[in-house]
Amino acid sequence: MDFLHATLLGVVEGLTEFLPVSSTAHLIFTSAILHLPSTEFLKSFEIAIQLGAILAVLFLYWRRFFLDVDSFSRILAAFLPTAVVGFFLYTLFKGFLMDQLWLIVSALFLGGILLILFEMFHRERADAVDDLSRVSYLQCFLIGVFQSIAIIPGVSRAGATILGGLLLGLKRRTIVEFSFLLAVPTMVAATGYDLLKTGFLFSSEYAWLLGVGFLVSFVTALLAVKFFLRYIQHHSFVWFGVYRILVSLLLVWWMAT
């Protein structure tokens, strides 16, 4: 891996982490297309640079984490299911699922179809929850259950969380912002646990590449978050579903050739 590779992966991570398109799938396939070997460092790099995107959320929503105890407690309630699932299935995710390209493509394709079908039949209720302070702790916990499904690469953490929140009666902007906030403890825990398992055995060269990917993902994530919040005010998630389907078909063609 070199500077260009780290930069490209940082851009991909920052642009896709908070959109319902699966940043993990995009990172894995970007690495494959760039012919980067599937080393332990690359797998850890793909997880660690997500902290750059997470820092963008902290930069935009720092009051929610440090000044609003009510919001913070709801975020932790939603994080609990993912923490349990991630702890027990870490080895399966890191050692097996991240290398199953056909599984990832299938999840990307089926997720696209699900997004389109969901938008065709979902109707927002008049009493939909429009503020995080009105989301019950049970709803928060169930949103976390939906998020935990995203341990399967290609599912999309953001997509699972957002669709789960909409099904549970939250307004679009409310669940989208909650998805941003929930990503913080989720990705911090994932990165910290992964680095703990690998024992921080990275050379100075690797640490420099992590810094590049981290910074690039932070800047691009800031832009992606602002774009997504503007987008949902006037559009549905259908085009994200279409995008997922097209990308999965292109990847099937690439894998076949």
- The average pLDDT across 243-255 equals 91
Question: Given this model, what pLDDT does residue 76 score?
Answer: 94
88 — pLDDT class (breaks 50, 70, 90): confident
Of 53, 21, 54, 1, nearest to 159 by C-alpha is: 21
Mean pLDDT of the chain: 86
Of 148, 23, 135, 29, nearest to 84 by C-alpha is: 148
Of 79, 59, 51, 12, nearest to 195 by C-alpha is: 51
Please answer whether residues 2 and 31 qualify as being in contact, where contact means their C-beta atoms are separated by less than 8 angstroms.
Answer: no
Question: Given this model, what pLDDT does residue 126 score?
Answer: 81
Q: Give the pair of three-digit tokens for residue 200.
A: 């921080």
Q: Is 136 helix (H, G, I), strand (E, B) or coil?
A: coil
Per the model's pLDDT, the better-predicted residue between 161 and 88 turns out to be 161
Question: Given this model, what pLDDT does residue 144 score?
Answer: 93
- The average pLDDT across 239-247 equals 94
- pLDDT tens track for 36-64: 887 777 767 777 788 888 899 999 998 88
Point out which residues pair with 170 in neighbouring strands: 129
- pLDDT tens track for 162-180: 999 999 999 999 999 999 9
% residues pLDDT > 70 (the chain): 91
Q: Give the pair of three-digit tokens for residue 135.
A: 């989301």
Question: Given this model, what pLDDT does residue 256 score?
Answer: 86
How far is Cα 12 from Cα 84, in angstroms, rounded to an integer? 28
- pLDDT tens track for 94-119: 666 666 788 888 999 999 999 999 99
